[in-house]
Amino acid sequence: MATEEKEMKVTRGCNFLVDEASLDDVFIPEEFDEEQQMVGQLARDFYDGSVAPVNDEIEALADGVTVNLLKEAGELGLLSVDLPERFGGFAQTKAVSMLVAESLCKNASFNTAFSCHTGIGSLPIVYFGTEEQKQKFLPGLATGEIIGAYALTEAGSGSDALAARTTAVLNDEGTEYVLNGEKLFITNGNFADLFIVFAKVDGEQFTAFIIEKNNEGLSLGAEEKKMGIKGSSTTSVILQDAKVPVENVLGEIGNGARIAFNILNVGRFKLAAAVTGGGIAAMKETVEYAKGRQQFGRPIAEFGMVQHKIAESLSRLYAARSAIYRTAGYIDQNIATIDVTDPERDSKVIDSAIREYMVECSILKVFCSEALDYTVDEVVQIYGGYGYTQEYGAERYYRDSRINRIFEGTNEINRIVVGGEVMKRAAKNSIPLFARAKALLDELTGFPDLGDDDDTSFLANERKLVNQARKIVYLAAGTMGQTLGMKLQDVWGHEELLGLLADLIMETYAMDSAVLRTMKLKERGAPDVDTFHSALTRLYCNEAMARMEITARTLLSAIVEGDDLSMALSGLRRTAKYAPANTVALRREIAEYAASHDDWGL
């Protein structure tokens, strides 16, 4: 049924850098309706009732355990949240998809299998498959009768995916492609029934194929022995004259890059939700431990340096979750503008609605995985010696976290995506970044804007910090554009600079997202917004601004020198000047709240 026609506002990707968002356009997790909340509760109940009791068996890779759990999830509809209704799916919003991902986060091994199947193992067929391919495979993927996997990485092509050496040659009859090569580190490899495999047709045209497990010529390597996520299956996929029917070509010949990179946007987005949920779960367990662990006659949760670790972790996780659902809301707004009767709707969702936010997806992947890493490191420290043993969960959280900075494109590659894509859009004037940089230069060479220091409204200082953060990005990006110009097209010659710019952009998005969410909670009359959520936001913004000044100083010093550097640093000092909050008091307030409340509302 066609949706009611109405004019819908769509927020462009990267718009957060140049415009202040309206609260009406920002989605926050507190806005889920009752039906959507029930989907999240269904996922949590499934985890508590079915996954948690067999955690040890999952970690031991016990035969059939994960497969049976995936099938049970399929029966509950959890595998089909992203799939079209006509193929047995729920066709829920991306925000609900994120809610499910974060609800299954406590066992990273199972979550890895689940996320692979529901994301990169299924969605390439949704977005790029023919109607016949969708009819053949999607109903089984929706129920778990078919388990999906994604085979892109090779020994010589990790981050450089297009350097793949797996070949595909059409047979003389024109009925089958014969594939030869080996794919590495394939999640769900041991039990997947279907693989999305990338190969070069005639050694040149990078192409995606759907290969079923029983295809002649396909075999699997042994399970990899890994640092973490030990309960997830990770094998190689070996193709020796593997025969693939021509009808199993996914998309068009030579169009594999479009599939691979667009699907990675989805994978990065889903990973962000899962790892943020994992960080919150780990910290909840840790706070309970700290409340019960007595040293020097009182719980360690009352010690200031422990409170520092708790509060710093929670502030990062709050900013992360705020950014996740903000991005989900933008994507859902964009998808809603695509006519449901359009036969090309599925491909437009990935090519247009999701790709528009590729920068935000990469930001989320990096920011959230590093927020989790920070959190689990502090989790182990709070547990002390017990955190280094397998008796408690801290050790597993620590090991399982590390892979997330490598999954779905390394954080280094994603930083280059963020910095490079923003500069590309600025050069095309898709976002008026250079115009903002020019306006900032005029401002810095004129009379100083003293601003409204008497503003005492809610989060006035933090809103000002967000605007200052934007200006730091303008200063950095403008200096890069003016000094380096077309040289920036040589990404590998300037990767450190793009990475530093990415850090500035990520901090800006995180700060802005936290402020907007807290402002919206205030507008909705949420309890504790004036204390807990406000403190989380103030802490994050203050700490982020301090980091941004150091990062910008490093970046500017690498681009210009002499008088130009002096002028740039002078501009930075004016732009980054702020009166810091008492972050020690904020951390104590946050940690005390966390210790005295069960529901944090992160």
Annotated catalytic residue: which of 154, 408, 507, 543? 408
Amino acid identity of residue 303, one-letter, is F
**CA quadruple 342, 343, 349, 352: dihedral, nearest 10:** -80
Q: How far is CA 350 from CA 117, 135, 324, 347, in A?
A: 17, 19, 18, 5
* Rounded CA separation 402/369 (Å): 8
Q: Where are the alpha helices (DSSP H) in 293-357?
A: 304-335, 345-348
Calpha distance 192→70 (Å, rounded): 11
CA distances to 271, 332, 409, 526 from 101, rounded to whole Å, are 8, 16, 19, 25
| Helices and strands: H and E segment counts in the chain | 19, 10
CA 253 to chain centre: 29
Task: Tokens for 425, please give them.
Answer: 């859009």
Collapse the DSSP code of 337 into the 3-class scheme (helix H, G, I; strand E, B; otherwise coil) and give the result: coil
User: How long a stretch of residues is the chain?
Assistant: 602
User: Hey, which bits of 366-507 come out as E strands?
Assistant: none
* Rounded Cα distance, 235 and 246, in Å: 26
| Number of C-beta neighbours around residue 462 at 10 A | 24
Structure tokens, 441? 């230069």
- Give dist(CA 369, CA 562) in Å, integer: 38
Retrieve residue 61's tokens.
Answer: 């890779």
Amino acid at 124: P
Whether 185 and 147 have beta carbons less than 8 Å apart is answered as no
Using DSSP's 3-state secondary structure scheme, residue 381 falls into helix
Extract the tokens encoding 338. 């695509």
The rounded distance, in Å, linking the Cα atoms of 119 and 117 is 6
The number of CA neighbours under 13 Å toward the Cβ of 214 is 1
The token pair that represents 77 in the structure block: 């509809």
- Asked if 217 and 242 count as a contact pair (C-beta separation under 8 A), the reply is yes
- Tokens 């990404």 belong to 491
Element of type H or E holding 475: helix 460-484
- Is 408 known to be catalytic? yes
> Which residues fall within 8 angstroms of residue 481, CB to CB, at 6 or more apart?
423, 426, 427, 434, 437, 488
The continuous run of DSSP H or E covering 197 comes out as strand 194-201
- Largest Cα separation within the chain, whole Å, is 81
Contact (CB, 8 A) for 374 and 313: yes
Neighbours of 495 (CB within 10 A): 16
218 phi, psi to nearest 5 deg = -100, 130
Between CA 51 and CA 185 the distance in angstroms is 24
The angle subtended at Cα 185 by Cα 316 and Cα 398, nearest 5°, is 35
Active-site residue set = 408
